[in-house]
Structure 1
Amino acid sequence: MLKELVTDKVYYRIFDREFTKSSHVYRKYKPNSNEAEIDNNLKAILAALAANDILILNQTHGNTVIDADTIQNIGEVEPEGDAAVTATNNLALAIQTADCVPVLLYCIKGKVIGAAHCGWKSAKADIIINLIDQMRVAEADIIAAVIGPAIQQSSYEVDQQYYQDFVNQQSDYQRFFIPSTKANHYMFDLPSFVEMKLVASGVNQITKISEDTYTSPTKYPSYRRSCHLGKSLQHSILSTIIIK
């Protein structure tokens, strides 16, 4: 069911494997995609949200923000970007993840919403800052956020080079890492890194869903878990936000 963020105005829903009306594949213009299957999935999502349209992005782990209100024929395009913003009623913004952090943003007056895909690359490249800047251009006032389910620190082991890339960018980023039991490896807290980016951008009202996608196979797809099991992964969590 929809969860209310602004009374009678802004709502969100996270569609995980417990939503049985979808096969959890959403990118229509991907190679070898089954368009009929994806159409059925999107129709089920639209019905659950009572939405007119939904914007699905071609996510590239970059820092490009899409202004959904400038796009014609939404549903027939998948613009390349990792975040989107809208002030349009009944247009759902959606983020696909399978370990990365989905972030849903809204102004507390309910006029503008945003959504971002925060993998480590896009988070490090300031997708959050870019999205909040776009929301303020659209006259958002005080902005609040929901951080959705993602891989948690206890499941996210990274190597020395990964750690060094972060620390070289800013030395105090080391606080998001703890040593792993494996030599020259660390456990990275991506959700807290994303939360820090939000706070640094002036977002202080944050709802954080701290469920671990990696350790919850019946509820969430996980790219890292699938790789460790030697399996391919097509499914995604779909995190959505909408103005009514």
Structure 2
Amino acid sequence: MRILSKFRDYYDGGLSHGHDDSISFFRETALFCDGAEGADKLPEYASFLAHLPASWTVYRRGIEEVVLRPFIVAFCGKMYPGIEGWTRAASGAYGTAFIYRPDELSAFMKNHDLAGAQADGDEKRSKTQGLFFAFLDKGVSSSLTDFFVGRREAVVVAHHYGSGSAQAVTLNAQLKSFEFFRVLDPFQAFQELSMFFGNILAPESRPMVSIEDKYRIAQAGFDKRSFRKAPSKR
């Protein structure tokens, strides 16, 4: 598989293991979000965005601001939920962590003392925490596989845009920026992409050639008398 792109991603190294030049991945990034170019395409991804929880902001005056923003990576028809943990200390220092497993979320919350932080009331905090753990643990419905295969889209990310709660979709996002290499290593990711474009989409990109029966018979070494009873001698 060839990758035609203006940027590099972490799995591009898979090309060094050999590739099939008859398969191409045209990797051009596009952002679909309210208020941005391409906003009219956002409704097409409504079924995808429906699985994206709202972001959660925790303010602790004089100590730290923490924002948890869920996202979903749709990669080769499979869904991978994640959470971006964004922090800003009182000193002004920023930090970002990408979380893909419930135990990573537990560690992040413990490190930033989120269990005891105030976030619009204890009831909402408890409900939101439970939602995020379930989001990572149970994953996202696989029913979206056919949706992305049908659209021929191998890399799509649903996420929150900017500092607000607006939902957005990025087509062919750079997965290195989401630390997706912790989910699939470079070789695994490249192999998944090669199979997606080479196997799943093969019937459309390489249609079968229809051959008439008379030519199939000739290829097999038969002729028009092969399936008839030889005339008897009288």
TM-score range relative to shorter protein: under 0.3
- Relative to the length of structure 2, the TM-score reads 0.27
Structure in which a larger fraction of residues adopt helix: 2
